[in-house]
Amino acid sequence: MLDIKYRKSDLIITDWDKNEISFNIEKNQIILDGFNISYSWEYEKSGILVEVKKYWDNLYYNFLIEKKRLVIITQDIFDLKEEILSFFWDVDILIIIGTKEAAKVFESIEAKLVIPYGESKDMFLHTLGQNVEEVNSYKIKWDFSLDSTEFVNLI
């Protein structure tokens, strides 16, 4: 089970073993259990695997955590070429900047659970026809629906 919540300007993802992924939204910086992974590379820390790819000066994050794939997208406008779309294969949890433009990116990625972030996350949800109540935190259970995508609106 993963727990996701905000702590000031950080989106915090905590796994069952209390390992923490801290995503500073203002700086677009990710810390995995105290280790800065904001550089293109492959990492393994505390049983969490992550691949960070750089495409057109933007970083994209693909985590394997507790046998689930979590992807973080910090940009809303980029070329959706096969090279980058293949990086987003089989996404269970998608954390994406919440803008109207990012809705187009989301539509190219089949994710089971989507968590938009940022000041315009409500616009992202509205663009996709989602009216989701805001919550302080969200516990992710591992039984995802295969037929639909679930959206979470964190405060």
The widest CA-to-CA distance across the chain, in whole angstroms, is: 38
Q: In this predicted structure, what is the pLDDT of residue 117?
A: 96
In the CATH scheme, what is the code of domain 2-154?
A: 3.60.15.10
Distance CA 31, CA 132 (A): 28
What pTM, to 2 d.p., does this model score? Answer: 0.94
Dump strand ranges (E) for the chain: 2-7, 10-14, 20-24, 29-32, 35-36, 41-45, 48-55, 58-65, 68-73, 91-97, 111-117, 134-135, 137-140, 150-151, 153-154
Q: In this predicted structure, what is the pLDDT of residue 110?
A: 82
Q: What is the mean pLDDT of each run of 10 residues along the chain (155 residues)?
A: 94 95 95 94 95 91 94 87 83 95 90 95 95 95 84 95
Q: In this predicted structure, what is the pLDDT of residue 1?
A: 87
Neighbours of 103 (CB within 10 A): 20
Phi/psi zone of residue 47: left (φ > 0), alpha (ψ -120 to 50 degrees), beta? left
Q: In this predicted structure, what is the pLDDT of residue 14?
A: 96
Distance CA 57, CA 141 (A): 34
Cβ pair 117, 24 in contact under 8 A: no
